[in-house]
């Protein structure tokens, strides 16, 4: 409830009887007519009596009856007393001694009107919004009966529930068609601002309030509730509760006593000073706040500002302060304290008004600028239109689209679609939703590079230099790119192709895509499809959907603005598939050279030529790529980097890059060759160089921290001694001082080694029954051992391992034997042979079948070699592949398992430093396997000297660079007879009683240090030992190439939880 402006002039006193029947529902009516219009039901007394006193008595009787029904004896007594007095007495009546009840001898009794927002201060009109219809009806009844002229206004101690003190006044809704105003009023009573209402008990009200003279009552026509115009008279204090509120009586009745206003002392300096300060603050407030200014100007005409008490009430009544602060002003009886509290309130209002004015000025400034710009733009548009310089927005858009395709070579279908859409756009209104859809579609159609092709680099040497500058090794990829350039040069046209780079993480598959684009002078675009499930990411959404947009390939053409970019599709082996579609099926068209010349995006729905795009896909393994999709791509496998390649990459790329990015520079870091070799062999065995880069970055960071700390310590020491010149010299020395990383302090920077040799036996000397095999994994190559031990059923001593005497000088015997828990004869195969074999090591189904084939063939082979040797037929054998936590499977372990069983049967070990791979048939043939490069890298890492490989893998081995084969002697065999002759020492085993049954063995021996060649990297390391008769040729730097040992392992290792496929 704010201050009511004094602009309203009342012709007659506001408490005249004419106001008793006045309402906003219609013109003033007679008392009887007003009662009939306000209530549909009338009592007999109301209809028969035309006198005011009789009406008051009937109203009092009704109040009494309601009070009795509610069990309120005090209300009943008060109502009965009012009825007996007639028109001359009653609660809150206009007669009877200023509103006193009864005969005028007792204290005044008033109905208490609860005020929610703020207390009422004497002296000026106030509008009170009443949202509860029952309270307003009760006031109307009191007014008609002559008892509601005076009320007691008491503020509630607490705000009602779900009530915000700063709620804005809501708009008043109007009834819908066909809905009665009374029904709407009952259902939407909550839409009115709540200034007053009802409470549950008198205890919820403050003790000090104000006598309110009711000036006018108004019922809202279309909503529940109304407003009450009151004039606060003077302060009162409630002394006793006459009656509590009840369901039938909305307001409580209380006895009150009038409070006298404090006397203003004459000549009091505090009062005068506070009075003047309040006036000065109000003047500042009126300058700042328009709301205060409007109210003050209308009220000041009827107020005496020279009176401190009236001024305090005026300022407090206009203030927007907290309820508790305003109530304390109303209660205060000391004039000085009251003025102090009012001054505090008005000061807070002034600060709030200043802040509000500041925010308003900032907002208005921004709005003014924007409005000015819009106005000028509109004026400029009209001026250009009058001069014919520019057409309207629609014609301008059409002109822009036509200019965008003017110099482009569009296909016939795309041209027809664009023309149709432009004609459609010209007929649409800019305000329609279809206009924006058509506009967006034309923007995509016209922004594509139709027929635009960037010239391609045709200089072979330039492209080769760029590829060598960015990457070391990767000759297969570089050779393929140079071939592509040569074909484009001969055909004199730009060609597209689909290539897939398959290799372990960190070998440079993604970065090689950028180098390919730079070497070909093409634009580059990359997007990853790992985990992609939605086909719309590739083909786009149909235009019927809200927010539809084209797929990635159309976005690529828009961004690159060329029809022949290099598109890198990353992680294509990790595509997802669900109910939204199968993206791999969408790639069948995109990556098919016979179909992608007319690729249709769901959004554009016109053919787009992708045949000139060079697609480069990357994958860690090709096994998860669907077969039809893999068939459309040219697969280039990247096996990883060996030790020498990693050394060269570190020296040429990684060390300079990490030194620069860390801020130390190459002149402050000195990494010894031995430390780098140890870092590669014992810390970074993965196939790629990503972990090696991380280790070098860690070293660079620690070096940077050490340099900064040393510099700070030197400055502090020089400052403490006061020697500025010496500090400068010391700092200069620190600037050029290098940090040396050696074998001794390497662990200080990067911790302890993560990897050790995979060899289980010293110097590669394996016991009988143990053979080193070679494996391929998605992370590179690895070595693994196959162990076989066994014993005869009645023999207490087992065979295999180091348990039996052997010609190689082993004397100790081991009593430990392997017992099979499933040795029940009922579980053995139906055969005359009592021996059986148990296989462990978490092998897959393929390796289990290989073990069964190996056992069958080994039994036959040993019997052919020595008919008296029946160990494999009768013994209980246990075949194990170590690291049982790692799953293993693949068709390449047959030869290794058969060699282990034959070694166990003969009780003779294999030659030291010998490894083999190959699949075995029941007739002894050795079949071709895959992953030769990875397996050779693993063999070199473990210092193997002799390799036994399948005959049909000779071509794969010959394609390897010489630095990968350095120090290795590879034997290519076609039958197990040759494996037997090559793997065992002829002096310790029996000779074959028949000539070998396979093709002739081909042996390839590569010197430990190959001659200088441009094909491979220059090997770096220390001394090595020649193998298989190879010679150690010194390098140009004077150091011979070292033999790969466990301490100098190169290329990819296998983590403990990685899945090994063989």
Give catalytic status of residue 935 as yes or no.
Answer: yes
Burial 975-992 (b: 16+ CB within 10 A, else e): bbbbbbbbbbeeeebeee
Torsion sign (Cα): 407, 411, 414, 416: positive
Three-class DSSP labels, 774-812: EEEECCEEEEEEEEEEEECCCCCCCECCCCCCECCCECC
* Integer Rg of the chain from CA: 51
* 782 — pLDDT class (breaks 50, 70, 90): confident
Query: At CB < 8 A and 24+ separation, what contacts does 575-578 make?
Result: 575/529, 575/530, 575/531, 575/532, 576/531, 576/532, 576/533, 577/533, 578/533
| Residue 511: count of CB within 10 angstroms of its CB | 12
- Residue 622, classified by CB atoms within 10 Å of its CB into exposed (0-12), middle (13-18) or buried (19+), is middle
Rounded CA gap, 89 and 95, in Å?
6
| Spatial separation of the C-alpha atoms in residues 142 and 148, rounded to whole Å | 4
Question: Among the listed ranges 181-185, 906-910, 931-935, which one has the minimum average pLDDT value?
Answer: 181-185
- Active-site annotation holds for 145: no
> Are the CB atoms for 342 and 276 separated by under 8 Å?
no
Mean pLDDT to the nearest integer, 775-783: 77
Pick the closest to residue 229 from 113, 146, 103, 314 (CA basis): 113
Query: 3-state DSSP: the chain helix, strand, coil percent, rounded to 5?
Result: 45, 15, 40
So what's the pLDDT on residue 966? 86
Comparison of pLDDT for 594 and 857, the residue scoring more: 857
Quick one: average pLDDT of 97-120?
67
Tens digit of each residue's pLDDT (9 = 90 or more) over 118-140: 899 888 788 888 888 888 888 88
Q: pLDDT tens across 565-621, in order?
A: 999 999 888 887 777 678 888 888 888 888 888 899 999 889 998 888 889 999 988
Can you read off the two tokens belonging to residue 388? 């014919």
Provide the pLDDT for residue 773: 92
Q: Which of 497, 888, 935, 965 is an active site residue?
A: 935
The confidence score (pLDDT) of residue 291 equals: 67
Per-residue confidence (pLDDT) for residue 247, from 0 to 100: 85
C-alpha span between 752 and 829 (Å, rounded): 51
* Residue 926 backbone dihedrals phi, psi, to 5 degrees: -100, 120
Tokens of 357: 């004015």
Query: Could you give the CA distance from residue 738 to residue 710 in angstroms, rounded to a whole number?
Result: 12
pLDDT band at 901 (very low <50, low <70, confident <90, very high): very high
Ranking 656-665, 677-686, 1016-1025 by mean pLDDT, the lowest is 1016-1025
DSSP one-letter code for 192? S
Q: Which of 892, 899, 1027, 1032 is catalytic?
A: 892
| pLDDT tens figures, 23-32 | 333 333 333 4
* The pLDDT of residue 771: 93
Q: Maximum Cα–Cα distance for the chain, whole Å?
A: 147
pLDDT for the residue 170: 38
- Give the pLDDT confidence of 1034-1051 residue by residue, as tens digits: 333 333 333 333 333 333
Which position has the higher pLDDT, 71 or 220? 220
DSSP secondary structure of 320-354: ---HHHHHHHHH---HHHHHHHHHHHHHHHHHHHH
The pLDDT value given to residue 801? 53
Whether 523 contacts 560, CB under 8 Å: yes
- pLDDT of 810 higher than 50: no
Give the predicted TM-score (pTM) of the model.
0.53
d(CA 502, CA 997): 38
Cα separation of 19 and 142, whole Å? 12
Check: CB of residue 421 under 8 Å from CB of residue 442: yes
d(CA 1042, CA 1051): 16
Mean pLDDT of 57-67: 38
Digit-coded pLDDT (tens) for 145-176: 877 788 999 999 888 876 654 444 433 333 33
Mean of pLDDT over the chain: 75
Arithmetic mean of pLDDT, 334-356: 87
Tell me: pLDDT of 65 over 60: no
Question: Is 852's pLDDT higher than 90?
Answer: yes
Q: Over 70: is that where the pLDDT of 911 sits?
A: yes
Q: To the nearest whole percent, how much of the chain has pLDDT over 90?
A: 16
- The top-scoring range by mean pLDDT among 189-193, 406-410, 977-981 is 977-981
DSSP string, 742-767: -TTTHHHHH-S-S-----SSGGG-PP
Task: Please tell me the predicted confidence (pLDDT) of residue 392.
Answer: 61
The whole-number pLDDT of residue 382 equals 80
Residue pair 112/253 in contact (Cβ under 8 Å)? The answer is yes
What interhelical angle do 894-906 and 976-983 show, nearest 10?
60
The whole-angstrom separation of Cα 460 and Cα 519 is: 9
- CA pair distance 855, 901, nearest whole angstrom: 7
pLDDT digits (tens, 9 = 90+) for 466-520: 888 888 878 888 888 888 888 877 877 767 788 898 888 888 888 888 888 998 8
Residue 304: per-residue pLDDT = 63
Classify residue 168 by its DSSP letter: P
Lowest mean pLDDT among 192-201, 590-599, 783-792, 1010-1019: 1010-1019
Mean pLDDT value of segment 859-870: 91
For residue 222, the tally of other CB atoms under 10 A from its CB is: 16
Q: Which two tokens stand for residue 578?
A: 């669900």
């Amino acid at each position: 409830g704010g201050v009511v402006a004094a602009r309203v002039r009342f012709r007659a006193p506001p408490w005249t009887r004419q106001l008793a029947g006045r309402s906003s529902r219609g013109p003033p009516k007679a008392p009887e007519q007003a009662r009939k219009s306000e209530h549909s039901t009338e009592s007999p007394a109301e209809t028969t009596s035309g006198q005011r006193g009789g009406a008051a008595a009937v109203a009092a009787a009704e109040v009494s009856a309601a009070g009795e029904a509610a069990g309120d004896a005090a209300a009943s007594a008060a109502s009965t007393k009012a009825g007996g007095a007639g028109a001359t007495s009653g609660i809150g009546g206009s007669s009877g001694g200023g509103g006193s009840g009864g005969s005028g001898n007792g204290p005044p009794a008033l109905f208490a009107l609860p005020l929610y927002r703020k207390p009422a201060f004497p002296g000026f009109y106030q509008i009170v919004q009443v949202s509860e219809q029952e309270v307003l009806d009760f006031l109307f009844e009191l007014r008609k009966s002559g008892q509601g002229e005076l009320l007691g206004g008491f503020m509630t101690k607490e705000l009602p529930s779900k009530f915000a003190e700063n709620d804005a006044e809501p708009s008043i809704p109007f009834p819908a068609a066909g809905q009665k105003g009374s029904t709407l009023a009952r259902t939407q009573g909550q839409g009115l601002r709540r200034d007053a209402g009802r409470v549950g008990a008198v205890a919820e009200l403050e003790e000090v309030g104000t006598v309110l003279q009711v000036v006018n009552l108004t019922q809202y026509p279309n909503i529940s509730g109304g407003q009450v115009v009151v004039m606060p008279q003077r302060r009162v204090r409630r002394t006793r509760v006459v009656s509590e509120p009840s369901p039938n009586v909305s307001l409580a009745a209380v006895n009150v006593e009038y409070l006298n206003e404090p006397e203003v002392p004459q000549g009091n300096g505090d009062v005068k000073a506070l009075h003047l300060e309040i006036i000065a603050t109000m003047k500042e407030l009126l300058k700042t706040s328009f709301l205060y200014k409007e109210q003050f100007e209308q009220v000041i005409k009827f107020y005496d500002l020279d009176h401190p008490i009236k001024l305090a009430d005026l300022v407090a009544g206009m203030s927007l302060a907290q309820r508790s602060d305003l109530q304390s002003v109303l209660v205060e009886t000391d004039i000085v304290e009251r003025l102090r509290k009012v001054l505090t309130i008005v000061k807070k209002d002034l600060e709030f008004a200043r802040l509000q004015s500041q925010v308003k000025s900032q907002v208005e400034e921004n709005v003014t600028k924007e409005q000015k710009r819009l106005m000028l733009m509109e004026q400029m548009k009209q001026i250009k239109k009058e001069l014919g310089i520019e057409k309207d927005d629609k014609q301008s858009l059409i002109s822009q689209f036509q200019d965008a395709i003017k110099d482009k070579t569009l296909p016939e279908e795309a041209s027809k679609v664009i023309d149709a859409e432009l004609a459609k756009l010209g007929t649409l209104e800019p305000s329609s939703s279809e206009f924006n859809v058509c506009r967006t579609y034309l923007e995509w159609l016209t922004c594509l590079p139709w027929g635009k092709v960037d010239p391609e680099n045709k200089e072979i040497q330039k492209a080769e230099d760029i590829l060598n500058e960015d990457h070391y090794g990767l000759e297969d990829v570089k050779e393929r790119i140079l071939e592509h350039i040569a074909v484009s040069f001969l055909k004199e046209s730009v060609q597209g192709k689909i290539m897939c780079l398959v290799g372990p993480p960190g070998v440079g598959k993604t970065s090689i895509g950028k180098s390919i684009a730079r070497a070909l002078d093409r634009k580059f675009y990359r997007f990853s499809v790992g985990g992609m499930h939605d086909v719309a990411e590739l083909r786009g959404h149909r235009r019927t959907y809200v927010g539809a947009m084209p797929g990635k390939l159309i976005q690529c053409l828009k961004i690159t603005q060329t029809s022949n970019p290099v598109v890198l599709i990353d992680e294509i082996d990790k595509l997802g598939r669900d109910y939204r579609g199968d993206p791999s099926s969408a790639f069948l068209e995109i990556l098919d050279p016979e179909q992608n010349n007319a690729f249709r995006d769901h959004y554009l729905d016109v053919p787009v030529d992708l045949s000139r795009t060079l697609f480069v896909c990357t994958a860690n393994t090709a096994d998860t790529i669907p077969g039809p999709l893999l068939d459309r791509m040219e697969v280039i496998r990247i096996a990883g980097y060996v030790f020498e390649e990693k050394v060269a990459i570190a020296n040429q790329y990684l060390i300079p890059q990490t030194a620069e990015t860390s801020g130390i520079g190459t002149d402050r870091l000195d990494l010894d060759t031995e430390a780098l070799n140890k870092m590669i062999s014992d810390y970074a065995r993965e196939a790629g160089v990503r972990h090696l880069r991380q280790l070098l970055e860690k070293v660079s960071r620690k070096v940077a921290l050490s340099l900064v700390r040393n510099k700070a310590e030197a400055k502090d020491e020089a400052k403490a001694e006061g020697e500025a010149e010496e500090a400068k010299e010391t700092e200069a020395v620190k600037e050029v001082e290098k940090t040396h990383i050696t074998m001794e302090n390497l662990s200080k920077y990067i911790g302890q080694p993560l990897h050790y040799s995979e060899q289980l036996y010293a110097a590669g000397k394996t016991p009988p029954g143990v053979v080193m095999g070679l494996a391929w994994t998605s992370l590179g190559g690895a070595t693994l051992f196959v162990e076989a031990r066994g014993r005869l059923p009645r023999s207490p001593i087992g065979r295999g391992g180091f348990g039996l005497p052997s010609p190689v000088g082993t004397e100790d015997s081991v009593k430990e034997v392997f017992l099979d828990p499933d040795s029940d004869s009922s579980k053995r195969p139906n055969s005359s042979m009592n021996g059986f074999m148990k296989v462990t090591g978490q092998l897959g189904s393929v390796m289990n079948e290989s073990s069964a084939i190996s056992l069958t063939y080994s039994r036959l082979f040993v019997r052919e070699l020595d008919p008296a040797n029946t160990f494999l037929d009768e013994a209980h054998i246990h075949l194990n592949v170590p690291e049982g936590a790692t799953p293993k499977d693949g068709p390449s372990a047959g030869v290794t398992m058969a060699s282990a069983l034959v070694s166990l049967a003969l009780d003779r070990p294999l030659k030291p430093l010998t490894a083999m791979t190959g699949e075995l048939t029941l007739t002894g043939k050795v079949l071709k396997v895959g992953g030769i490069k990875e397996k050779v890298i693993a063999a070199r890492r473990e210092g193997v000297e002799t390799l036994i490989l399948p005959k049909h893998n000779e071509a794969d081995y010959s394609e390897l660079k010489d630095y990968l084969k350095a120090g290795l002697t590879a034997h290519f065999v076609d039958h197990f007879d040759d494996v037997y002759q090559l793997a065992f020492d002829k002096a310790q085993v029996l000779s074959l009683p028949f000539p070998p049954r396979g093709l002739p063995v081909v042996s390839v021996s590569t010197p430990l240090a190959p001659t200088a060649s441009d094909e491979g990297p220059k090997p770096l390391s220390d001394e090595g030992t020649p193998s298989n008769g190879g010679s150690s040729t010194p390098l140009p730097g004077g150091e011979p190439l070292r033999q790969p040992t466990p301490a100098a392992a190169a290329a990819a290792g296998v983590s403990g939880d990685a899945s090994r496929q063989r």
